[in-house]
Amino acid sequence: MRARTLPLTRQRSGGGKPFTRKALAVAAVVSLGTGLLAGCADDGGDDSSGGSSSGEGKTTITMGLFGTMGFKEAGLYAEYEKLNPDIKIEENVVERNENYYPALVNHLTTNSGLMDVQAIEVANIAEVVGTQADKFTDMSKVEGVKKDGWLPWKWEQATAKGGETIALGTDVGPMAICYRKDLFEKAGLPSDREQVGKLWAGDWNKFIATGEKYKKKAGEDTFFMDSPGGLLNAVLSSEKEKFYDASGKVIYKTNPAVKAAFDLTADAAEKGLVQSQTQFQPAWDTTIANSKFATVACPPWMLGYIKGKSKPEAAGKWDVAVAPKSGNWGGSFLGVPKSGKNVEEAQKLVAWLTAPEQQAKLFKVQGSFPSAPAAYTSPEVTGATNEMTGDAPIGEIFSEAAKQIPVQVIGPKDQIIQQGLTDNGVILVTKGKSAAEAWETATKTIDNNLDQ
């Protein structure tokens, strides 16, 4: 009944209208449907083609970055655009790598939605090299790129088994120990950076021994070190092998170096030398502001972080000493996916951005330490000082540390294992659990997380 009456009611309103209405409905459905399909299918192509056609004949290169990598802040885009008038650079920044990386993996596996240049954090580089190498172009073939321009281990980290280098290193994080001169003096310890370095040269156990001396004098007001996670990370990063062996097997449970680092940290926690804090959490930030600890494992970028969280009166009270053993903490890479629209131009840009001169400029503005040794002799590095460390020649100290960093075997799940040892492990010791219990919880969590 209803089916028959409906056309009649429409007849009254004129013959043409039903068609337009129907056409409208069909159009709506079709456009919705295709929109849906298009949304699922391929958003990457649309993005970059839209980008490239903008401007008058200019090529737009899109950069997918995380955190504050500082290329824009250091004026490098503007400089490159000046040198190459037909290039326009746009960046798309995700604040945290935890959010950036899963999306990057998704885009790589589906080969869509990728930018012309993608940044990769050192914690993820092994996984990307191991599983997604065929999605990237070989940067070692790009004109002007030479293997010996980078620290050898940095170059190796981004090189796949087949020999292709999928990304070029930007910065590294050579680790030193940043310490509070005023707190060391109060605790009766030397405060000159040479002598402080000698206190623990070559041995992390000496570092703990210094901590005990510190605690005897300093009492309960302040802690020797900022966090168990920071200590564990520092010790582990100076090892040649930590969680994986050279053949790619997970060995973290049987590697004596890992257990030793864990026990050393647990010991420090039991003795009350480290705060019961997790790094980069608001509560930890507060302890920086309140000057609650005397040392922290400290790559160059950490000084910037400390500066951001400190009260003004802490300026100049810090100094930098050599760590017991050198290690690396942090750093990134830039890669060019094959599916990009402007592969060649993007490669040129990456080669330029990671050249020593640009790395030196980046260090000056952003504190990201160069991964190209040629930059270590540049005035930007040799003459570098930091507001927090007064006139300490941080450039020289970190350059020295960078040269001594071992070639470390890294693996795809390093981050999960390290996080397990820290967040489900040594932190528990600071909360009254025994080292054995903490190890048990940590390994159980890690094994469950690794099990496919």
Partner 1 sequence: MATRSDIAASPVKGGAAPGRTPGSRSADKDDRRRSKLSRRWQRDARWSPYAFVSPFFLLFAAFGLFPLIYTGWASLHQVELTAPTDMNWVGLKNYTRIFDDDFFWNAAQNTLTIGIISTVPQLMIAMGIAHILNYKLRASTFWRVAMLAPYATSIAAATLVFVLLFGRDYGMINWALGAVGIDPVGWQDDKWPGQIAVSTIIIWRWTGYNALIYLAAMQAIPQDLYESAALDGASRWRQFLHVTLPSLRPTILFTVVVSTIGASQVFGEPLLFDPNKGASGGAEHQFQTLGLYLYEQGWVNQHLGRASAIAWTMFAILIVIGLINQLISRRLRASS
Q: Given the rule CB under 8 A, which residues bind partner 1?
A: 2-4, 6-7, 10-11, 15, 18-19, 22, 25-26, 28-29, 32-33, 36, 40, 98, 102, 105-106, 109-110, 127, 131-132, 276, 278, 280-283, 286-287, 416, 419, 422-424, 427-428, 431, 441, 444-445, 448-452
Q: Which of 150, 225, 207, 199 is nearest to 402 (CA)?
A: 150
Closest approach of partner 1 to the CB of residue 427, in Å:
5
Closest approach of partner 1 to the CB of residue 127, in Å:
7
Measured from the CB atom, the residue of 275 and 354 that comes closer to partner 1 is: 275
Measured from the CB atom, the residue of 11 and 49 that comes closer to partner 1 is: 11
Closest approach of partner 1 to the CB of residue 12, in Å:
12
Closest approach of partner 1 to the CB of residue 26, in Å:
6
How far, in Å, CA of 73 to CA of 225, rounded? 32
Closest approach of partner 1 to the CB of residue 111, in Å:
11
Closest approach of partner 1 to the CB of residue 54, in Å:
30
Q: Which helix (H) or strand (E) holds 184?
A: helix 181-186
Measured from the CB atom, the residue of 160 and 450 that comes closer to partner 1 is: 450
Measured from the CB atom, the residue of 78 and 283 that comes closer to partner 1 is: 283
* Angle at the Cα of 211 from the Cα atoms of 271 and 433, rounded to 5 degrees: 20
Most distant CA atoms of the chain, gap in Å:
100
Measured from the CB atom, the residue of 133 and 321 that comes closer to partner 1 is: 133
Measured from the CB atom, the residue of 23 and 78 that comes closer to partner 1 is: 23
CB distance 112 to 42 below 8 Å: yes
Closest approach of partner 1 to the CB of residue 126, in Å:
11
Helix (H, G, I), strand (E, B) or coil at 144: coil
Q: Which of 340, 267, 270, 330 is nearest to 120 (CA)?
A: 330
HEC string of 277-337? Answer: CCCCCHHHHHHHHCCCEEEEEECHHHHHHHHHHCCHHHCCCEEEECCCCCCEEEEEEEECE
Measured from the CB atom, the residue of 191 and 441 that comes closer to partner 1 is: 441
Tracing tokens 């170059």 back to the chain, one arrives at 155
CB distance 406 to 175 below 8 Å: no
